[in-house]
A and B are shown apart, each in its own frame.
Chain A
């Protein structure tokens, strides 16, 4: 069974940093592109970042470019999202997903507030 489990969400002050992790199992992790998505409270879905299977291609949404960094460790079957200079508008549930969302993880909540 394909499983994605996010962790690392927390309450953080504006300007702070946080690192999210996504542990993958049940599939050949090193052959898949991975994505981060997010959903602010009561709002729709938003794509955050993409990283290709070998990390050779990386893309970011304009809203996070320069502040967030995506990475992966294929040996550990893990995906990461380093989030710096966090803002209130980054408050959301963050989901990792295999490729275009097949499947999504259960999500981890990031709250940016003083």
Chain B
């Protein structure tokens, strides 16, 4: 099925551990994004990649790194996980940066708990 695929769906980490969240899209979209959703905070942009080969910080980039591996894949890395990074992480893609009239396509999310 066409769309955005995120792995894993669930993860529990200990404080200080590292991990990489994977995201892949098969819609030939140019732009990709990582958001986190916390209760009462809505969706906040962590990093985005307007096109292959470029990445930029969003609203809450501290503690994260990203890699736009190719046009399809955009990964998010937590180098040293902290309890404050407990959240639901969503990857999204759009044909063009900002996805105006047709919006973003989101993955189903990764629920991460840091203990």
B partners with A = no
Partner-B contacts on A (CB < 8 A): none
